[in-house]
Amino acid sequence: MAIEWLAKLIPLFPLLACLITLVFGARYLREKSHYPVVFGCGLSALCSLILAFTVASNQTAEEPFQTVTVYQWLALDPVAEPLAEGAAPSSAAPALTPPVNFSISLRVDSLSAIMLSMLTFVATLVAIYASGYMHGDRSYWRFFTCVALFVFSMIMLVLSASFLQLYMFWEAVGLCSYMLIGFWYEKPEAAAAGKKAFLVNRIGDFGFATGVFLIWVTFGSLEFQQVLNPEVVAAVFRAKPEMITWICVCLFTGAVGKSAQFPLHVWLPDAMEGPTPVSALIHAATMVTAGVYLVARCTPLFILAPEARLLVSFVGGVTALLAALIALTQTDLKRVLAYSTVSQLGYMFLGLGTGLASGIAGGMFHLVTHAFFKALLFLGAGSVMHAMGGVIDMREFSGLRRLMPQTYRTFLIGSLALAGLVPLSGFWSKDTILSAVHEASHGPAAHAGAAHADSEHSAEAAAEPNVAPEPKLLGVSATSLYTLLFWMASFTSLLTAFYTFRAVFLTFWGEEKIPHAAGHHAHESPPVMCIPLWILAIGAIFLGGLLGHPTGIFDGFLARTIPMVGEGHHGTDWYVVILSTVCAVTGISVAYFMYGLPSKLPEQIATAAGPLYRASCNKFYLDEIYRVLFVLPILALASLSRLLDWSLIDGLVTGVGKLPGVAGRLPRPIQNGLVQFYALAMMLGLAVLLWVLVIKQG
Amino acid sequence: MQTTFLLLLPQTVVALQAALFILGGTFPIPARRWGPLALVALLLGGAALHYSSGLDIAADATQTLAVVRTPLTVGFQWATLVIGALLVLLSMQSQSASKSAAEFYGMFLLMLAGLMLVAVAGDLILLFLALELISIPTYVLLYLGRNDYASQEASTKYFLLSVFSAAILLYGFAFLYGLAGTTQLEGIRLVLSQAYKSSVAGTPNASGSVLGVVALVLITAGLGFKMAAVPFHFYAPDVYQGTSAFNAGVLAILPKAAGLVALIRVGAETMVGFETTGQQLTLIVAAITMTGGNCLALLQTNVRRMLAYSGVAHAGYMLIGVAVGFWESWNPALRLEQTTGPLAFMGLPSGVHASLLYLLAYSLTSAGLFGVLVYLARPGKQVEHVDDLTGLAKTQPLVAIVAAVFLFSLAGIPPLPGFWAKLSVFTTALSVRQETADSLAAVHPAFVALAVIGVINAAIGAVYYLRLISAMFLNEPLSTARPAGGRAALVSVYCAAVLVVLLGLIPGPVFHYLQQPARAAAVSATPAVGVSPAVSSR
């Protein structure tokens, strides 16, 4: 009962806030437009926390989730009761297809509770921060309306109980993202970035939609209750195993688009044209993690598709490395963070792809901790940008640590967490993922079909030992691939520490340099912006240790919802711990020597590594490659189609379209207004009908 | 006897009050009082309906009566009262200064009583009486509408053609009586099923007798006039154009509902043994009605004329359900297949129930749309041309949105009721099966063709509805005069809009309601052969 009410209230508050700012914002609220949104998100965060605790205390293994139906558009059983009685014997057979149900329902379980708590908490802080950051903007109310709409859509996405609803709100958050990236639409870059984000996401969404269609065709239902039910999935798997793989690949394509994974990651860095709170909330903490959430939600499908899982891990690992390499040389502080987000999202997919309990829990855990420290870093960057009069190029300013002590300290905490230093939260979550990958690289005994949560299937596997050969991707066996991925991930964590601290040293260390745009009043941000920074910083420090490995709270909580492959091993993998700590420390030290101390090293290295340096600077020319490979041919095709459309199709369509008009003109003379003629026409009509039915049939 | 009166209580109450209204017109009562009084009258009618529908009457008792009562007839009467109330609200402003307000509302109440009587009539004579109870006040109403030549021409035209069609209908009823020897519908059904069904063990005699076919064609023609089905529709555009927007709205809803219900009652439910003929007849009429109405509507620039043709087209869609109804009464076993098979997903109403859903959706939406026209009338000038509506979104944004909702519903855009109605009608046509050499349940090509024609027509129909919407939203207003329809009309329009949206968003209860059996006792599977046709003794 309590859960039902809470689940309904959580999306309600942001929705109300959105409506209030939409209706009253422009005329009455103006500079106070943030109040409804802050309160809406705050109340919703409160409810989410209560919900998480309720779920934690209530849930039993028998009832791992609860579905709350908010509104039923239409839900009727195919069998109509009054007619079934006293009729043919076929009524005895029950309907094979499950009842079709178009409803908006909320699914509450530990996974959605975790996502909700994180989402609403960060959203509240960002809304408070934004009330300072956006102060004086002439579309102040529009900003908060969009933010509230986004929070509502994201909450509904997370609470969705069917793929249809998920898809609907998946598009809704995409729309909000588009509106907020292009918030300053007078700027051509912002408008272009919004468009790019929208278009690139279409590619992913096409895959997602295909996945949803396949699910409908295969399962005959879109309800999670039906599709993600391990027994049902196992039955479908026995019938057509390759279908599950295809579904997973399609769904993952959607996740790749939304979560900015290679090769569809190109939109996220450009999305930094939007206001910084938006970057923090949507493009770091919440919306981009929707893809991760989708894959985690569909775990029951993914555990039966080892090839698809390998693909997830592989794409994740490659993205993590690639984005980290690009981040090394970027000079725009927000873009460094954007590539870092892409890279960290890659980590999450890497963990999810292993299919191990520790990997999935690690991926989700990294999602939560990352939301805190990345939102913190973005808000810190926003604080810098605020003070520097909108300049965010790290070559234009330096030595800000004395000018902006609060921002500096919180940013440093965020950087340490991102670098993965003990005992900050980033360490725990990243370590879990690395351990899982390390475990996966030890061979098939530890992963794949050997120990499915679904007992039925594992029994089958035991009967036929060779039923699940080791999955391969492009001819490479899973074991060697995971070994490769493990080293890639470890190297990435070194790079992460390096580029993060490069940004810290360039921005806050060295001599004090302030760009002209900042004028003479460069100052620390107001408390309304600094307090959220500190709250996030506290989260970034303690969250990992509190919920992660040392206590095991997070894993235990999550494990109730998601059936996982393998029991996972809960001990600490000291090998990984030491390796990742060494990586982090090395990265930080190298950054210190290159950028913390005055030296000529960076220039020398840049010259020495000439082509590589330029490739990283130019994001490996991916935008240019896409332009030549996809954009230009599509534009050419578009012009051709337009020509054809004009000359050929339009002619045809207008021709056919004129038919009814012509047909209508023919009998017009009959409609002559003479009553005797009307009576005659009626009689004639009657006569013709009689002739057809009586005379013709004899 | 007493039961009959109790069952007819709502109709009696409304009709008696109508008489009081006409009587009261001679007293010096201010005109503006009559509108609210009419609402009170409807409220009393509703109370009577509530009372009589709560009465406990044995199901088999009603079989021998001239009146039937099923959940569906009760629902139909409620819908009549609600739509009647909406229309009364609509007319309040224009009647508040009229000298003939009492007569106007008296006539209108009589029409409503007639429509409620159509729903319950279980006897040919009572049915004809009920239909005339709608027609005759309509003549008066049309005459009271406006005092110009166009209006008088319209009412004369309607009067002449209506009388003409009533004669055809009565001719058909006479044939039917000659065939069965009784006027009671249940009795006719029993006689016909004895004559044509039991003759060849179980296989119905598809053609029936020529007399029956003639009766069916005549009845369909007579009722087709009321529904404005092609080729009996000629009066509709001329009359709609010549009369006031309110009268056009009344004409678009009440006679159409009466015609459809009467056709279902006399045709699909009663004329056992003539299913094939009925099916073919309604198939043909439905196809030409849809196509003719839509094609002609495309060319119109006068709004009421356009809506007249659109109403013709909608009658065609409703007839699809009746055609399936004929088929269903022939194949009760296959009907189950239809309600459980893959096409029955979502529990959409089938057969005549789909038609009734269509009727409900159409009536509510039309009441709203004609209400918008009534509201937007300017002093001394009605909404005539499409140009009178251009730029409505700029001058009256809320009314424009509401009008767009109605138009979208008529065009069949989800999630509005028009969509559900069209979906049900097309689905039910596609679910018709027939026995062929290869398969026991092959799709019926004629019905598939009908569904295809229906879908094409829906596309054609969308053109002129969307054209109206685009005129309202995309063009600049031509004049900024204030609408003079009055606040009550606006309330009526908004109420209709709320009902339309609700029906679209929460269609489940209505679907469930329509799933209930249409006839009081669904004994059609085992006709009591022993019962003599002389059950008409009341």
Instruction: Measure Cα distances from B140 to A192, A215, A638, B118 in Å.
Output: 66, 61, 62, 20
> What average pLDDT does this structure show over B462-473?
89
pLDDT band, very low/low/confident/very high, at B498 (cuts 50, 70, 90): very high
Q: Under an 8 Å CB criterion, which residues of A touch B?
A: 72-84, 86-88, 90-91, 95, 97, 100, 660-661, 663-665, 667-668, 670-671, 673, 675, 678-679, 681-682, 684-686, 689-690, 692-694, 697
User: Which of B339, B423, B427, B463 is the mutation pick for testing A, counting most A CBs within 10 A?
Assistant: B339
pLDDT band, very low/low/confident/very high, at B60 (cuts 50, 70, 90): low
For residue A393, what is the DSSP state?
A: B
Query: Taking the alpha carbons of A461, A462, A467, A471 in that order, is the dihedral positive or negative?
Result: positive
- For residue A244, what pLDDT is reported? 87
- Alpha-carbon distance of A272 to B89, in angstroms, equals 56
- For residue A446, what pLDDT is reported? 42
Does the structure show a pLDDT above 80 at B334?
A: no
Residue with the bigger pLDDT between B222 and A189: it is: B222
- For residue A274, what pLDDT is reported? 84
Q: Which of A196-210, A611-625, B467-481, B490-504 has the highest mean pLDDT?
A: B490-504
- Alpha-carbon distance of B1 to A188, in angstroms, equals 83
- For residue A133, what pLDDT is reported? 86
Residues B152 and B143: beta-carbon distance below 8 Å: yes
User: Which of A70, A71, A76, A103 is the mutation pick for testing B, counting most B CBs within 10 A?
Assistant: A76
pLDDT band, very low/low/confident/very high, at B493 (cuts 50, 70, 90): very high
| Cβ–Cβ below 8 Å for B340 and A667 | no
Closest residue, chain A, to B242 (C-alpha): A673
- For residue B47, what pLDDT is reported? 93
Residues A346 and A323: beta-carbon distance below 8 Å: yes
Residues A342 and A319: beta-carbon distance below 8 Å: yes
> What average pLDDT does this structure show over B153-170?
92
User: Is B31 in CB contact (< 8 Å) with chain A?
Assistant: no
- For residue A692, what pLDDT is reported? 84
- For residue A73, what pLDDT is reported? 67
Segment B431-463, tens digit of pLDDT:
777 766 666 666 788 888 888 899 888 888 888
Does the structure show a pLDDT above 90 at B273?
A: no
- Which residue positions in chain A have pLDDT lower than 70? 1, 59-64, 73-101, 443-476, 520-521, 550, 559-572, 667-668, 696-698
Residue A398, classed as helix, strand or coil, is strand
Continuous segment of H or E residues that includes residue A310: helix A306-327
- For residue A76, what pLDDT is reported? 52
Angle among Cα B457, B459, B461 to the nearest 5 degrees reads 70
Residue A100, classed as helix, strand or coil, is strand
B67, β-bridge pairs: B121
Least confident range of A147-156, A319-328, B59-68, B418-427: B59-68
Q: Which of A271-280, A384-393, B250-259, B291-300 has the highest mean pLDDT?
A: B250-259
Interface predicted TM-score of the whole assembly (ipTM), two decimals: 0.84
Query: pTM for the complete prediction?
Result: 0.71
Residues A204 and A264: beta-carbon distance below 8 Å: yes
- List CB contacts of B31: < 8 A, sequence separation 6 or more: B95, B96, B97, B98, B99, B101, B102
- For residue B208, what pLDDT is reported? 55
Interface A–B counts its CB contacts (< 8 A) at: 135
User: Hey, how many other C-beta atoms are within 10 angstroms of the C-beta on B123?
Assistant: 22
Closest residue, chain B, to A660 (C-alpha): B295
pLDDT band, very low/low/confident/very high, at B341 (cuts 50, 70, 90): very low
- Alpha-carbon distance of B130 to B137, in angstroms, equals 12
DSSP A17-51: HHHHHHHHIIIIIGGGTHHHHHHHHHHHHHHHHHH
pLDDT band, very low/low/confident/very high, at B285 (cuts 50, 70, 90): very high
- For residue A571, what pLDDT is reported? 60
Measured between beta carbons, the chain A residues lying within 8 angstroms of B346 are: 74, 76, 78, 100
Segment A510-521, tens digit of pLDDT:
787 777 777 766
Q: Which of B41-50, B51-60, B94-103 has the highest mean pLDDT?
A: B41-50
Closest residue, chain B, to A681 (C-alpha): B231
- For residue A239, what pLDDT is reported? 81
- Alpha-carbon distance of A154 to A180, in angstroms, equals 14
- For residue A443, what pLDDT is reported? 59
Distance from CA of A676 to the nearest CA of B (A): 9
> What average pLDDT does this structure show over B312-338?
77
Does the structure show a pLDDT above 90 at B329?
A: no
pLDDT band, very low/low/confident/very high, at B422 (cuts 50, 70, 90): very high
Of A80, A664, A679, the CB nearest to B164: A679
- For residue A560, what pLDDT is reported? 65
- For residue A475, what pLDDT is reported? 64
Segment B171-190, tens digit of pLDDT:
999 999 988 888 888 888 88
Angle among Cα A300, A302, A303 to the nearest 5 degrees reads 70
User: Which of B205, B209, B223, B296 is the mutation pick for testing A, counting most A CBs within 10 A?
Assistant: B296
- Alpha-carbon distance of A498 to A341, in angstroms, equals 15
Closest residue, chain B, to A81 (C-alpha): B515
Measured between beta carbons, the chain A residues lying within 8 angstroms of B231 are: 681-682, 684-685
- Alpha-carbon distance of A437 to A400, in angstroms, equals 39
- Alpha-carbon distance of B314 to B465, in angstroms, equals 13
Measured between beta carbons, the chain A residues lying within 8 angstroms of B168 are: 682, 686
> What average pLDDT does this structure show over B495-499?
94
User: Is B305 in CB contact (< 8 Å) with chain A?
Assistant: no
- For residue A463, what pLDDT is reported? 41
Measured between beta carbons, the chain A residues lying within 8 angstroms of B514 are: none
- List CB contacts of A104: < 8 A, sequence separation 6 or more: A69, A70, A71, A72, A73, A156, A165
Report the mean per-residue pLDDT for chain B. Answer: 83
In which region does residue A269 sit, left (phi positive, over 0), alpha (psi from -120 to 50) or beta (all else)?
Answer: alpha
